[in-house]
Amino acid sequence: MAYNKKDLLSKAKEAIEKHKLFFVEDVVAFLPCAKPTFYEYFPAESNELNELKELLEKNRVELKVSMRSKWYKSNSPALQMALMKLISTPEELKKLAMQYQESENNHKVNISLKDAIKFSDNSES
């Protein structure tokens, strides 16, 4: 079956906006063509596919901003901790972590908070 490329592109854009889609696979599911046909009309790195990917990325960014805003306003410690981990510097992350890994001379050291406290207590004596 022959498809009109402009119609497919228009339907794809409409689906992205109407259904707040995030992935190309989801866009294809809303179109009246099979996945191979879609990629035949819109090959990788084509201007049209890149345009669709930009719309999908816009949806992802809007959702992430919205979620982070809700997490910031939330009284849930789990959500606030998740946000803190997203926005923290590496040093802050290390302080927040119950367990972290450091690489020293290409040796991985796994230190838990409990072990660090025990080591700290023993070194003070």
Cα separation, 122 vs 9, in Å, equals 67
From the list 33, 1, 3, the residue with the least C-alpha distance to 15 is: 33
Burial 15-48 (b: 16+ CB within 10 A, else e): bbeeeebeebeebbeebeeeeebbeebbeeeeeb
Burial class of residue 12, CB neighbours in 10 A (0-12, 13-18, 19+): buried
What's the mean pLDDT in 62-72?
Answer: 95
Q: CA separation (Å) from 38 to 1, 17, 21?
A: 12, 18, 16
pLDDT at 51: 97
Describe the chain by its helix, strand, coil percentages, rounded to 5: 65, 10, 25
What are the pLDDT digits (tens) for 11-58? 999 999 999 999 999 999 999 999 999 999 999 999 999 999 999 999
Query: How much of the chain exceeds pLDDT 70, in percent?
Result: 77
Cα separation, 63 vs 4, in Å, equals 32
Q: Which residue has the higher pLDDT, 108 or 14?
A: 14
pLDDT at 95: 86
* Residue 109 pLDDT grade (very low, low, confident, very high; cuts 50, 70, 90): low
**pTM flag (> 0.75):** no
Residue 106 in this model has a pLDDT that exceeds 60? no
- Average confidence score pLDDT of the chain: 86
Q: Which residue has the higher pLDDT, 120 or 95?
A: 95
User: Tokens 């306003």 sit at which residue?
Assistant: 73
